[in-house]
């Protein structure tokens, strides 16, 4: 079943805030696929994400990424 069809069907049965979370998650999934295509090494990307998820939240200091393009 295509996701858009599924989302349309459940959108009438769940709270809007929950639907917003689902939509955001789908957008993130699309971003992850595009990021994998750009990086070109799916295994590297997965292992890096897994390693970051295992870190304590206090150890993860987010810094803005800038492009020197």
- What confidence tens digit (pLDDT) does each residue in 2-36 have? 777 888 888 888 899 988 888 888 887 777 778 77
The verdict on residue 65 lying in a domain is no
The verdict on residue 63 lying in a domain is no
The verdict on residue 36 lying in a domain is yes
Q: Say whether pTM exceeds 0.75.
A: no
The gap between the terminal CA atoms of the chain, to the nearest Å, is: 40
Number of helical H runs and strand E runs in the chain? 3, 0
Q: What pLDDT does 7 receive?
A: 81
| Domain residue limits at 28 | 3-48
Identify the residue whose tokens are 């590297």.
44
Instruction: Kindly report, residue by residue over 28-69, the tens digit of the pLDDT.
Output: 777 777 877 777 877 877 788 788 888 776 555 656 556 665
The verdict on residue 12 lying in a domain is yes
The verdict on residue 15 lying in a domain is yes
The verdict on residue 39 lying in a domain is yes
Q: What is the DSSP letter of 13?
A: T
């Amino acid at each position: 079943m295509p996701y858009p069809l599924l989302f349309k069907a459940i959108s009438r049965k769940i709270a809007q805030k929950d639907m917003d979370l689902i939509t955001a998650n789908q957008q993130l999934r699309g971003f992850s696929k595009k990021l994998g295509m750009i990086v070109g090494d799916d295994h590297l990307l997965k292992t890096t994400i897994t390693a970051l998820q295992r870190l304590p939240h206090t150890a993860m200091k987010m810094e803005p990424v800038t492009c020197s393009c």
